[in-house]
């Protein structure tokens, strides 16, 4: 299915007067949203397909029974360029093996493209995303979630850049040799490690985006001081809706990110966007402890029967987007859904990659222009990626 360009749409209207005359019934907001989802590039900076398939393989070239991503649903939702997360669990920092796993996960995405070259294509640059737009192919970009596979070696950064990695989330759920994690109470480095500071400079120079999702506040501000180019939060939401949850960004951080030219890509997970869902796990663990039983899958099923999970809604996610825009303007927000990465906690109305038109319809109903919607869907992220590419090209030429 080819996405028509704006010019093609206007020519179609000119040629099909019956479809465009004032006598026809105007498109509903849902129909308009479907049209815009196909008309504009949609970039989602965090989808956990590689690790999902590593644990539980399915053929995502066709409709799947599990997960939130497959080719038919991506096509239906208008998703053009998902960043496939090369996710390395934090435990690999201690056990080793992260370098090998990262390469295996990259291999799996290349194999997917090899098996279904009519449906998928690798995307190593903004030009690849633009050039493949309208081809019917989903462009697979790669981001590494957790810098553990770098193993303190800049030659590994070069290796993974050559393999297609275009951003690195510096740490994950535990502090590593690069940066402290927002989840880790042990602040080993009080921000970035000495190697982490070196890595930020090297990532700038090589043309790889720096992702500050998951890092501690101190690490975030140190990245901001060091980076010569805009950075991203590939899948973060806002702390003003989840007070005390350091994994999200507070207003001062968003202002600093915007001053840097960066972009926060809003995570759709209910626990990232509402306080009730954010505290649900702690309440369940406390109940298990009080009952003197293990907080296992069986207990969770029973707990949910008595205490249904407080799913967020589409409007909650839209509130996060609104908040960023009211705080710093339209140019600094996008989407990083965390599909296939947040279990069954996705909001009502945003359950899988076929749901982007619902988000667009919500934006239309809140009065956003098409130009603004295009920035949220991809324009802001592509601007950052392009600036990172251009800076690296200048360094190489200089």
pLDDT at 391 > cutoff 50: yes
pLDDT, average across residues 359-372? 98
- What is the predicted pLDDT for the residue at 25? 85
The pTM score is 0.92
- What is the predicted pLDDT for the residue at 24? 73
- What is the predicted pLDDT for the residue at 21? 41
Q: CB under 8 Å to 95, separation ≥6 — which residues?
A: none
Could you say which DSSP state residue 379 is in? I
- What is the predicted pLDDT for the residue at 136? 95
Average pLDDT, the chain: 94
First to last CA, the chain: 42
- What is the predicted pLDDT for the residue at 283? 94
DSSP secondary structure string, 311-367? --BHHHHHHHHHHHHHHH-GGGEEE---BTTSTT-PPBT-SSGGGHHHHHHHHHHTT
**19-33, 250-264, 298-312, 323-337: segment of lowest average pLDDT:** 19-33
For the chain, counts of helices (H) and of strands (E): 19, 9
pLDDT at 1 > cutoff 90: no
Confidence of residue 148 (pLDDT cuts 50, 70, 90): very high
**3-7, 21-25, 112-116: segment of lowest average pLDDT:** 3-7
Confidence of residue 10 (pLDDT cuts 50, 70, 90): very low
- What is the predicted pLDDT for the residue at 23? 54
Confidence of residue 3 (pLDDT cuts 50, 70, 90): low
Q: CB under 8 Å to 58, separation ≥6 — which residues?
A: 64, 65, 66, 67, 70
Is-contact 137 80, C-beta < 8 A?
A: no
pLDDT at 222 > cutoff 80: yes
pLDDT, average across residues 127-149? 98
Is-contact 266 230, C-beta < 8 A?
A: no
pLDDT at 16 > cutoff 50: no
Nearest to 118 by CA among 133, 100, 130, 136: 136
pLDDT, average across residues 172-185? 98
pLDDT at 323 > cutoff 50: yes
Residue with tokens 């090899």, as numbered in its chain: 114
According to DSSP, the β-strands at 120-122 and 333-335 are unpaired
pLDDT, average across residues 316-321? 98
pLDDT at 118 > cutoff 80: yes
DSSP secondary structure string, 95-144? H--HHHHHHHHHHHHHHHHHH-TTTEEE--SHHHHHHHTTTTPEEEEEEE
- What is the predicted pLDDT for the residue at 13? 41
Q: What is the three-class DSSP state of 88? A: coil
pLDDT at 64 > cutoff 60: yes
pLDDT at 20 > cutoff 90: no
- What is the predicted pLDDT for the residue at 2? 44
pLDDT at 214 > cutoff 70: yes
- What is the predicted pLDDT for the residue at 98? 98
Confidence of residue 7 (pLDDT cuts 50, 70, 90): very low
* Cβ atoms < 10 Å from Cβ of 106: 20
Provide CATH code, domain 41-274+310-397.
3.20.20.140
Domain boundaries, the chain: 41-274+310-397
- What is the predicted pLDDT for the residue at 398? 80
- What is the predicted pLDDT for the residue at 17? 35
Nearest to 110 by CA among 142, 66, 81: 142
């Amino acid at each position: 299915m080819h996405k028509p360009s704006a010019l093609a749409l206007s020519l179609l209207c000119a040629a099909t007067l019956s479809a465009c005359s004032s006598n026809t019934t105007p498109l509903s907001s849902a129909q308009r949203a479907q049209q815009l989802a196909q008309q504009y590039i949609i970039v989602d900076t965090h989808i956990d397909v590689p690790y999902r398939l590593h644990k539980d393989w399915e053929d995502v070239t066709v409709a799947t029974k599990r997960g939130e991503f497959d080719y038919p649903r991506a096509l239906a939702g208008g998703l053009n360029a998902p960043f496939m997360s090369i996710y390395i669990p934090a435990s690999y920092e201690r056990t080793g093996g992260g370098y090998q796993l990262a390469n295996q996960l990259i291999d799996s995405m290349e194999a997917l493209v090899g098996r279904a070259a009519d449906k998928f294509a690798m995307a190593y640059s903004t030009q690849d995303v633009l050039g493949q737009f309208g081809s019917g192919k989903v462009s697979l970009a790669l981001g590494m979630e957790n810098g553990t596979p770098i193993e303190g070696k800049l030659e590994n950064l070069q290796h993974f850049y050559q393999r297609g990695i275009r951003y690195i989330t510096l740490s994950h759920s535990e502090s590593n040799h690069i940066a402290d994690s927002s989840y880790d109470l042990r602040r080993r480095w009080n921000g970035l490690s000495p190697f982490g500071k070196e890595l930020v400079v090297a990532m700038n120079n090589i043309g790889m985006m720096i992702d500050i999702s998951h890092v501690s506040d101190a690490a975030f501000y140190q990245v901001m001081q060091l980076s010569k180019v805009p950075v991203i939060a590939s899948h973060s939401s806002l702390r003003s809706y989840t007070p005390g949850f350091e994994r999200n960004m507070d207003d001062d951080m968003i202002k600093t990110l915007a001053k840097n030219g960066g972009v926060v890509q809003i995570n759709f997970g209910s626990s990232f966007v509402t306080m009730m869902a954010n505290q649900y796990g702690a309440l369940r663990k406390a109940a298990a402890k009080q009952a003197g039983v293990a907080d296992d899958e069986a207990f969770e099923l029973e707990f949910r029967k008595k205490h249904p999970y407080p799913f967020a809604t589409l409007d909650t996610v839209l509130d996060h987007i609104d908040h960023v825009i009211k705080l710093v303007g339209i140019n600094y927000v996008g989407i990083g859904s965390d599909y296939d990465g947040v279990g069954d906690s996705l909001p009502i109305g945003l359950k899988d990659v076929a749901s982007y038109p619902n988000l667009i319809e919500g934006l239309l109903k809140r009065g956003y222009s098409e130009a603004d919607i295009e920035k949220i869907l991809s324009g802001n992220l592509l601007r950052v990626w392009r600036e990172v590419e251009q800076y690296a090209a200048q360094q190489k030429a200089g």
